């Protein structure tokens, strides 16, 4: 019996981040059928189908699901559409891999949580950094250490055209993946009204307390001079320095210091045996793990419920709240 993959949304994120992964999974699994893709723009849907080997192209995702009856549906649409469309896919009864963030507000993700619970349909949120090889390796190395503090820098260049909180949610979720939930956050905002033509533009500083007892500082800027994501994790006599595959830090590295001495230097390309961005940035592992979970009829760990606090903090940032308590 074939394992049929259907894709909803054929824009940039599908083309650059997901399409190559679907294609590789199909090439390595003879039972895979890349059955159909869908986009409101038929030309874009047809181009995606031709580029990645999907059999049919649609403009209506409901029509596609009814006609194709896929094994799984991958939802790669803008943030404001994810909750409504994700609920619809679950109600159709198809396992769902949904792009991040899974909703723009707590109310939206709660609807997804409620529908997922009511239907019992397998689902996964595509927070790709939870599957990024170096982040997974850092989490493994932190076992046995008590984290004292995390210092995270999340910088982009020229991101002034949309609400940056939907990108900054990656920084929030990455820290939760490494160190657990937040209990208290104090937000500081540096606003730039002169740059805020299409959306409010600000730098963000988050002073955080974690449930584990650790503290964390997140510095987030959409208007920096370089694109980087860098994390320092401090424990007793140990510091871990993580640079992700972005900008001047590509392909990424993980350094481990003990009492002032460098004891390990992991190069991301060597560690992953690849220079492919879809592998280094976790997109492949994310999708492959979802497909394998569906094959095993096993609920993946990256549920809507597991993502709720990340969405709540993202919403607090967008609303310029002064504090967050959990």
pLDDT at 134: 99
pLDDT at 198: 86
| 74 shares its domain with 213 | no
| 292 shares its domain with 261 | no
| 320 shares its domain with 187 | yes
Tell me the per-residue pLDDT of 207-244, one tens digit each, with 9 for 90 and over: 999 999 999 999 999 999 999 999 999 999 999 999 99
| 242 shares its domain with 263 | yes
Give dist(CA 78, CA 232) in Å, integer.
31
Structural domain range at position 298: 3-127+283-306
pLDDT confidence tier of residue 160, bands split at 50, 70 and 90: very high
Count of domains in the chain?
2
| 198 shares its domain with 95 | no
Tell me the per-residue pLDDT of 173-199, one tens digit each, with 9 for 90 and over: 999 999 999 999 999 999 999 998 888
pLDDT mean over 100-105? 97
pLDDT at 192: 97
| 316 shares its domain with 175 | yes
pLDDT mean over 246-271? 99
pLDDT confidence tier of residue 14, bands split at 50, 70 and 90: very high
| 13 shares its domain with 153 | no
User: Edge-to-edge strands of the sheet including 202-210?
Assistant: 261-267, 253-258, 238-243, 228-235, 147-155, 215-221, 202-210, 182-191, 323-325
| 197 shares its domain with 317 | yes
pLDDT mean over 283-305? 98
pLDDT mean over 265-274? 99
| 314 shares its domain with 301 | no
| Half-sphere exposure for 77 (CA within 13 Å, toward CB) | 25
pLDDT mean over 249-256? 99
Tell me the per-residue pLDDT of 20-49, one tens digit each, with 9 for 90 and over: 999 999 999 999 999 999 999 999 999 999
Give φ, ψ of 199 to 5 degrees: -160, 155
| 292 shares its domain with 314 | no
| 135 shares its domain with 230 | yes
Look up the CATH number of the domain holding residue 263: 3.30.360.10
Rounded (10°) CA dihedral 130, 109, 191, 228: 10
pTM of the model: 0.96
Look up the CATH number of the domain holding residue 93: 3.40.50.720
Q: What mean pLDDT value characterizes the chain?
A: 98
pLDDT mean over 66-81? 98
pLDDT at 173: 98
pLDDT mean over 108-136? 99
Whether pLDDT at 1 is above 90: no
pLDDT at 164: 97
- Maximum distance among all alpha carbons in the chain? 61
| 137 shares its domain with 252 | yes
pLDDT at 56: 99
Quote the percentage of the chain above a pLDDT of 90: 98
């Amino acid at each position: 019996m074939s394992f049929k993959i259907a894709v909803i949304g054929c824009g940039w994120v599908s083309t650059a981040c997901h399409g190559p992964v679907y294609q590789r999974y199909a090439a390595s699994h003879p039972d895979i059928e890349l059955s159909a893709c869908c986009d409101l723009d038929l030309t874009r849907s047809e181009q995606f189908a031709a580029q990645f080997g999907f059999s049919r192209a649609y403009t209506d995702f409901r029509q596609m699901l009814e006609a194709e009856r896929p094994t799984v549906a991958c939802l790669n649409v803008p943030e404001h559409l994810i909750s409504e469309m994700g609920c619809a896919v679950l109600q159709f009864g198809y396992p769902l891999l949904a792009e991040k963030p899974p909703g723009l507000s707590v109310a939206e993700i709660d609807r997804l949580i409620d529908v997922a619970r009511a239907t019992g349909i397998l689902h996964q949120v595509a927070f790709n950094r939870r599957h990024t090889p170096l982040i997974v390796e850092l989490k493994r190395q932190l076992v046995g250490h008590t984290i004292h503090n995390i210092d995270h820098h999340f910088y982009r260049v020229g991101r002034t055209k949309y609400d940056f909180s939907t990108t900054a949610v990656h920084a929030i979720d990455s820290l939760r993946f490494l160190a657990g939930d937040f209990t208290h956050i104090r937000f500081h905002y540096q606003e730039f009204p002169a740059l805020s033509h299409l959306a409010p533009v600000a730098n963000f500083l988050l002073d955080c307390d974690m449930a584990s007892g650790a503290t964390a500082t997140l510095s987030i800027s959409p208007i920096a001079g370089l694109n980087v994501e860098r994390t320092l994790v401090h424990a007793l006599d140990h510091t871990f320095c993580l640079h992700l595959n972005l900008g001047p830090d590509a392909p990424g590295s993980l350094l481990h210091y003990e009492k002032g001495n460098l004891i390990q230097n992991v190069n991301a390309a060597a560690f992953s045996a690849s220079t492919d961005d879809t592998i280094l940035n976790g997109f492949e592992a994310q999708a492959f793990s979802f497909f394998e979970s569906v094959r095993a009829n096993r609920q993946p760990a990256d549920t809507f419920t597991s993502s709720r606090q990340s969405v709540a903090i993202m919403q607090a940032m967008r609303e310029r709240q002064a504090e967050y308590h959990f």
